[in-house]
C-alpha cells in the first residue's frame, strides 16, 4: 500500500495550496500516476478554491462496493465516490477558502466502463476525477438543471485538457 502526502510547489501559485493524501490500495495495473491525479483534481479546483486538503484512495471492487453500500445504500462497486467534509457550505472561494474532502475511485470499474464506452482509459479517469472533484465542490446532478450545469463544466474542463466530450 502506498500512502503519503505531497505538496507540489510548482503548482502552488499566488498563495494557492493543495495537498493530496494519495493511497493506492488497488491491484489494478496501468493506472495514471499520482502527479496526473493531482493535476486533474487541481484543474477542477483552481478557479474556485485557493486551498484544498483532499485524499484520493484507489480501491479494489470489494472495498469500493462496501463503501457504496454503507454510505449510499447501493450494493455494487461504483466508479467514484465523493465525501465533502465541508458539505453544505458554499462552493465558491469568496465564502469558503479551503475545500476538504475525500475521493474514492475503483480502477476496475473505471477500466470496464472505458472499454465498454470505447474511451481511452486515461480520458475516462480524467473525467471521473473531475466529476468527483466537482461533487466535493458542491455540484450535483440530481435535478436536470444542475446536471446540465455540472456536465457543461466537466466538458469545458476536459476540453482545456484536450479530452473530448465524454457525453
- Can you say which residues are annotated as belonging to the binding site for Zn(2+)? 131, 135, 141
Give the torsion through C-alpha atoms of 112, 117, 119, 121, to 10 deg: -10
| Residues of each annotated binding site | 131, 135, 141
Q: What are 146's three cell numbers?
A: 444542475
3-state DSSP of 51-103: EEEEEEEEECHHHHHHHHHHHHCCCCCCCEEEEECCCCCCCCCCCCCEEEEEE
Instruction: Report d(CA 23, CA 97) in Å as an integer.
Output: 25
Amino acid at each position: 500500500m502506498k500512502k503519503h502526502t505531497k505538496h507540489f510547489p510548482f503548482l502552488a501559485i499566488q498563495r494557492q495550496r493543495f495537498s493530496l493524501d494519495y493511497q493506492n490500495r488497488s491491484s489494478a495495473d496501468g493506472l495514471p500516476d499520482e502527479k496526473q491525479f493531482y493535476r486533474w483534481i487541481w484543474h477542477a479546483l483552481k478557479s474556485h478554491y485557493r486551498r484544498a486538503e483532499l485524499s484520493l484512495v484507489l480501491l479494489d471492487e470489494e472495498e469500493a462496493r462496501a463503501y457504496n453500500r454503507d454510505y449510499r445504500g447501493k450494493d455494487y462497486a461504483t466508479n467514484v465516490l465523493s465525501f465533502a467534509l465541508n458539505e453544505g457550505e458554499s462552493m465558491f472561494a469568496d465564502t469558503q477558502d479551503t475545500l476538504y474532502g475525500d475521493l474514492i475511485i475503483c480502477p476496475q470499474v473505471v477500466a470496464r466502463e472505458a472499454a465498454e464506452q470505447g474511451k481511452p482509459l486515461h480520458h475516462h479517469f480524467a473525467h471521473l476525477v473531475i466529476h468527483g472533484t466537482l461533487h466535493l465542490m458542491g455540484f450535483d446532478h440530481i435535478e436536470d438543471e444542475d446536471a446540465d450545469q455540472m456536465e457543461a463544466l466537466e466538458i469545458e474542463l476536459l476540453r482545456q485538457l484536450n479530452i473530448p466530450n465524454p457525453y
